């Protein structure tokens, strides 16, 4: 066998081994760059489809669980950011509110609402493409919300007031006394 | 006419005037205490119905637009806090992502995710019953999330990484160039 033929056969065997090693449970394992590229692709498509320029992917072990795009204006839902949408879809798909073991790939650094959702969902890692400054430069400025959340209620621009604390606490007491509650 | 009868008639007229003054567009106007009491009632009912001890009401001009309860475990949705649920329902009902002119009554001080949603929805005022410490005392501690959000990405416990910025920015450029976009 000539050296050239032997080299070609070995190269092919190597490629097959790489391909097979990327397959797990009949699903192709995507790299983090491929998963981010998918989130970016969603953000591009969403601009063409009347949504904001944001896309997100929830993945587990390199496999896509669910995706989301920003549908705030299209769905009349101020909470329908790409990350929240992807988290809700992934939780529905997996049948659990706890997405530990999953990672999020988002085309832009999340706002405080989405970051809060990422923590509540127990996502283990976050990858993002654009940053807050990029978002601000095209009119999506969430620095105001970051600033407000860090303040005490009385110091925020959002007016707030405590009402009927002595009545509200009764539901917490009922929760504390409940024996069959599902804590989370 | 005896003084007693005259007094009774005048009292009845006064009550009718108060009742009529509370009616606007055929809807009874609720006081802020009544609206908060409704949020608390929802939080109590939710404990009995397998949910967390949280309820919220969105109101406009003293009239209930929509309500929400915490259905995280019941709906397998980590974002289904009472406030987010109420905001989504109110936005659907009014057909807009912009709830300016509306107020939120929540049985407990909101977590960062819900507070973010309150700002994005442009709610004008917030009333709450229980506070963060009350919530912590029954096992719902969101102080970790408040602390994390205030940090730079690299300083958070949540591992994060920037990926493919040069590709992600293209969706933002497409948005900036789009002439018929709906900004918000």
Say how many CA atoms lie within 13 Å of B37 toward its Cβ: 6
Residue B133 has pLDDT above 90, yes or no: yes
Per-residue pLDDT reduced to its tens digit, A11-33: 788 777 766 666 655 667 899 99
Mean pLDDT calculated for residue range A52-79: 95
State the average pLDDT over residues B112-116: 97
> Which residues in B lie closer than 8 A to residue A32 (C-beta atoms)?
161, 163
- Given a cut of 70, whether residue B91 has pLDDT beyond it is yes
**Predicted pLDDT of residue B110:** 97
- Comparing CB atoms, the residue among B48, B146, B168 nearest residue A129 is B168
Give the residue numbers of B annotated as catalytic, written as ranges. Answer: 83
Q: Which residues contact A48 (CB under 8 A, 6 or more apart)?
A: B174
Residue A184, number of CB atoms within 10 A of its CB: 14
Q: How far is A18 from chain B (nearest CA, A)?
A: 23
CB contacts under 8 A, A 43-102 vs B, are: 43-44, 46-48, 50, 52-55, 72-73, 75-79, 84, 87-88, 91-92, 94-99
Position B135 scores a pLDDT of 94
What is the C-alpha separation between A121 and A171, in angstroms, rounded? 24
Question: Can you tell me the mean pLDDT for A97-118?
Answer: 97
What is the percent of chain A with per-residue pLDDT over 70, rounded to a whole number?
Answer: 94
Instruction: Tell me, yes or no, if the pTM score tops 0.95.
Output: no
Confidence band, pLDDT 50/70/90 cuts, at residue A183: confident
Running DSSP on this structure, what letter comes out for residue A76? T
Q: What is the pLDDT of residue B18?
A: 66
Tokens in use for A48? 């063409």
SS3 content of chain A, % helix, strand, coil (to 5): 50, 15, 35
pLDDT for B22 equals 64
Note the pLDDT tens digit of each residue in A122-155: 999 999 999 999 999 999 889 999 999 999 999 9
């Amino acid at each position: 066998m000539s050296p050239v033929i032997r080299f070609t056969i070995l190269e092919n065997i190597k490629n097959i081994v790489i391909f097979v090693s990327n397959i797990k449970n009949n699903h192709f394992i995507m790299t983090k760059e491929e998963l981010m590229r998918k989130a970016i692709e969603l953000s591009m498509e969403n601009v063409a489809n009347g949504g904001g320029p944001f896309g997100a992917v929830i993945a587990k072990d390199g496999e896509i669980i669910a995706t989301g795009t920003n549908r705030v204006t299209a769905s009349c839902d101020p909470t329908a950011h790409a990350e929240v949408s992807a988290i809700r879809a992934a939780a529905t798909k997996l049948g659990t509110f706890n997405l530990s073991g999953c990672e999020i790939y988002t085309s832009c650094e999340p706002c405080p609402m989405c970051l809060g959702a990422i923590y509540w969902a127990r996502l283990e890692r976050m990858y993002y493409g654009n940053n807050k400054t990029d978002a601000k430069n095209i009119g999506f400025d969430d620095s105001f919300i970051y600033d407000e959340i860090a303040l005490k209620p009385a110091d925020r621009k959002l007016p707030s007031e405590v009402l009927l604390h002595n009545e509200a606490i009764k539901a917490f007491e009922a929760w504390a006394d409940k024996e069959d509650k599902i804590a989370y």
